[in-house]
Amino acid sequence: MCAKKQPAVGLSIDPAARKEKAISVLRDAFEQKLKEATQQGYDLPEGALVVDEIPADAAFKKTVEIAKTLYDQIMESGRFALDVPSRSSSNIIYDENNDLLLLGDKMNRKWFHSLTSVEDMTQLIKILEIVNQLLEKRIHATKREVFYNDVNLFKEQVNSDNCIEDLSTVLNTIRNSTNIVASAMGKAVGRLRIRDQRDIIDLEAMGSGGWAITPFLDNVEIIESDAEFVLVIEKDAAAMRLSEAKWWKDYPCIIISGRGAADIATRMFLKKINKVLNIPTFCLVDSDPYGHYIYSIYLRGSKKLSYESPFLATPNIHLLGVLTRDLDSYNVPKECRIPMNKTDITRCQQMLAESFVQKNTRWVADLELMMKIKEKAEIQSLSAHGFEYLTEEYLPSKIATADWI
């Protein structure tokens, strides 16, 4: 248990004035974002793979077209092959303008009549068959279910997972458009109303647990909101604190709990909100290299799913906290800070080496400070000043002073 200490001097101003200031900052950010959204289209850089979110019937047609092409090849020559976009790191492009990681247009030709690729190809064709059936029946399956569909063929789930990613790139679509979904961990609560097929769901009326983000996001539509920002929180415990306090009533927002690493459905849901509502989006993570890494996944996508980045990444998400400099600014007691270990230091160095980090001077400064003091702290360490410190002091101060990266 950390000793309770006084928060930083000068931060405890009149709460009503601070709230007014915070809301004013958010509204300016909203107007700016709305202006940018109406001015900008999204152009992929040259050489990037064009991937689209497509409806089930269009995806179904594509699977049939591929099957027909393969059939024609067999009838013509008895040998068939499929061009699969390479997902190796050498084929990943960093789109500097849009701050995204994308897949390039390098292809690997996979032959059925080749000892090196026959197994891969057989697994890939099986996935094609499964996706075709799912799309025809208009049902979804999880990656795990797909693996169990033919355990003898796939041997390990990593093989079926890889084939699912390969097929998505062959179809030039995102994985969700193949009706194969990953189980979702995230939760959302706050000032948002959505439609899930025939159901209208009010995210303010879901109890303190919030709405469990569905992996079937193609069924979900944003229909109404009076939120003025989104707050994505790494830790469920911190999200529960905000949820219990019904923080969104005071600060009109939507709270998303990623519950650790950002899963695909959570990122896709965040992207959907960001795209539709154009409201400022912030991230609250632990003050450690892994927290910064999680923020980076929300920001510009993961290398593994680089071809889906435009549909998963939220390039205008800001890192609100807990920044390294906050540890001193908000007087996080020394006993609540943890010395960084070797893994932390390596990860921090890796983060600093990333080109998307280097172009953000404020981010570099915070990571360099982390390397200097070699200390990390969890979001919960703020509760050393009291359980309500996060909701009543820290977050309002951070927003009111626009103190984010």
Partner 1 sequence: MKVFRLSNGQIVQIIDKEKIQNWDPETPVLFVNFILDKKLETYGGSKDQAEIRAYLNEILEDIAIPKLTNALKSPDQNARLAIAKSLVDISKKKPDMVKGVLGFLQDAEKVEKAAEVKANITQVLKNYDKALKRKQYEAKRKKMRELDERLKTGKISADEYVKERKEFLILGVETGAEED
Contacts with partner 1 by CB under 8 A lie at 23-24, 27, 30, 34, 193, 195, 197-198, 200, 202, 221-226, 228, 252, 276-277, 279
DSSP state of 227: -
d(CA 240, CA 232): 12
Q: Which residue has the tokens 């070797």?
A: 342
d(CA 312, CA 171): 18
Q: Which is nearer to partner 1, 289 or 396 (CB)?
A: 396
Q: With H, G, I as helix, E, B as strand and everything else as coil, classify residue 268.
A: helix
Q: Which is nearer to partner 1, 83 or 224 (CB)?
A: 224
Q: Which is nearer to partner 1, 228 or 344 (CB)?
A: 228
The CA-atom distances, in angstroms, between 68 and each of 52, 71, 163, 169, 194 are 22, 5, 19, 18, 39
- Exposure string of 375-388, with b = 16+ CB inside 10 Å and e = fewer, is bbbbbbbbbbbeee
Q: Out of 148, 290, 330, 389, pick the active-site residue.
A: 148
Q: Which is nearer to partner 1, 30 or 94 (CB)?
A: 30
Q: Which residue has the tokens 């990333």?
A: 354
Q: Fill in the amino acid letter for 248.
A: W
Q: Which two tokens stand for residue 273?
A: 């909100």
Q: Least distance (Å) from partner 1 to the CB of residue 327?
A: 34
Q: Least distance (Å) from partner 1 to the CB of residue 335?
A: 42
Q: Least distance (Å) from partner 1 to the CB of residue 198?
A: 5
The answer to whether residue 307 is catalytic is no
Q: Which two tokens stand for residue 202?
A: 């009010």
Q: Least distance (Å) from partner 1 to the CB of residue 379?
A: 27
Q: Which is nearer to partner 1, 198 or 342 (CB)?
A: 198
Q: Least distance (Å) from partner 1 to the CB of residue 54?
A: 16
Q: Which long-range contacts (CB under 8 A, 24 or more apart) does 326-331 make?
A: 326/287, 326/394, 326/398, 327/287, 327/373, 327/375, 327/377, 329/8, 329/11, 330/7, 330/8, 330/11, 330/382, 330/385, 330/393, 330/394, 330/397, 331/5, 331/6, 331/7, 331/8, 331/385
Strand pairing class (281-284; 317-321): parallel
Q: Least distance (Å) from partner 1 to the CB of residue 36?
A: 15
Q: Which is nearer to partner 1, 202 or 335 (CB)?
A: 202
Active-site amino acid positions: 148
